[in-house]
Amino acid sequence: MNRRQFIRTSAAGLSVSAAAYAEQAADQKPKRVGLIGPGWYGKTDLFRLIQVSPVEVVSLCDVDKHMLSDAADMVALRQASKRRPRTYADYRKMLAEKDLDIVLVGTPDHWHALAMIAAVQAGADVYCQKPISVDVIEGQAMLAAARKHQRVVQVGTQRRSTPHLVDARDKIISTGKLGKIAMVEICCYYHMRADSNPPDTAPPDYFDYEMWTGPAPMRPYNALVHPRSWRAFMEYGNGIIGDMCIHMFDMTRWMLNLGWPKRVSSAGGILVQKSSKANITDTQLATFEYDDLKIVWQHRTWGDPPDPKYQWAATFYGDRGTLKADVYGYDFKPSSKNEAPIHQDVTYELEQYPEDKTEKDLEKHCAPAIRHHMMDFLAAIASRGKPVADIEQGYMSTASCILANLSMKLGRTLAWDPKTQRVIGDDEANRLLRRQYRSPWVHPTVESV
């Protein structure tokens, strides 16, 4: 199969225009790709990109020498050239080569802003994992950098590219089957919060903990920090709201074509799992208010879910029916007995992409969504247009979730002004839009990028 045929086949699930852009790109040289943070989801994203485009992965960067070496070996096996990519311990040295067309940012959340901004400044288009930032000012700087340097930036909110969710939007919501939608409940009831309390130790000799911490506050090292369990700490992210709510909130905004919420309120805390070293909430509610619509989030990392089938999901309530949707499928239940319910499951694509069957730690149900998200990203690169999860959309969804955490911290509702990008009439809240960076790292701003 030649490159044109390969891209045409891979783009079959995209829109006609996206497929055309992808086919146009097929006549060009393979894109040169670098990945910053080849851990769990960094590799997941990269391997989906390799599946849908004949890219050449030339650079990997990580502060964990073992993770970096293992990832380089895996890439050599997966990519067509069988070449082992160059490896770096400092993303700045990798980007200084100025030889990358695409950079994937798969670091922990507290590194997203600096890595993404540096990548667009180096001339690369970027696929950045969500949430895009840990504070609001970072997100503003990231958006400004993407626009200033005219780079395509796709955010990893891949629900916008999940085939069955695209189907639910087009067949259920856009056709008016739900009628007037005035309430959306979004939730996560996974028992995903760390519940252990490991002792502090010295970091392993193959892991540069100083560089890994970067602009975040320096915590004593312990086994929860690396790998993957760093989400247990607010120093590195935005808790479960920033990790899980952003997906369902962003999906809801996309499905209903919504912009900024007018007001955000939240309450919660550590109510049950108090023995763990983790400092993120185990229980939290948040309300995102629009004119005649409320989007209500709840997470609880203990107890039973209300609906075991939809534990991380969105429920759209309309006056003509109800739609429940998640990463595994959707169910439409009409109010009228004269209309039939509709059910659809996720399509796994295991036969088209047999690597999915054996890839370690792959969320198989999410693989099709990431592939389609990557194809949309490539189409936007070819057209120099905006991808479906453009950095501005990622900024809106990320910042809204951060505002929920700030509301919980301050104990009051926050009203947002999308024109000034500030909280209305609340100086204390506005001071919290920017966190303090640890020296010598410098916080990015709109003016500095």
pLDDT value for 307 = 97
| CA distance linking residue 404 with residue 406, whole number of Å | 5
Q: Residue 58 phi/psi, 5° resolution? A: -105, -20
- What is the number of residues in the chain? 449
| Angle 67-160-52 from CA coordinates, rounded to 5° | 55
Contacts 24+ apart (CB under 8 A), 335-339: 335/179, 339/177
Q: For position 24, what pLDDT does the model report?
A: 53
Residues 6+ apart with CB under 8 A from 18: 11, 375, 376, 379
Cα 41–Cα 242–Cα 95 angle in degrees, nearest 5: 50
Q: Across-strand partners of 343?
A: 331
pLDDT at residue 28, rounded to an integer: 72
Which of 94, 109, 84, 77 lies closest to 36 in space, CA to CA?
Answer: 94
What is residue 33's predicted lDDT score, i.e. its pLDDT? 98
Q: Which residues of the chain have pLDDT under 50?
A: 1-4, 6-17, 21
Name the CATH superfamily for 163-359+394-431.
Answer: Dihydrodipicolinate Reductase; domain 2 (3.30.360.10)
Q: What pLDDT was estimated at residue 278?
A: 96
Structure tokens at 85: 């990519």
Fold that domain 3-160+367-390 belongs to in CATH = Rossmann fold (3.40.50)
- What are the boundaries of each domain within the chain? 3-160+367-390, 163-359+394-431
Pairing of strands 283-290, 293-300: antiparallel
pLDDT at 23: 56
Tokens describing residue 222 = 């312990």
**pLDDT tens sequence across 288-308:** 999 999 999 999 999 999 999
pTM: 0.94
- Per-residue pLDDT at 401: 98
Token pair of 179 as six digits: 């009628």
| Dist CA 240 CA 394 (whole Å) | 17
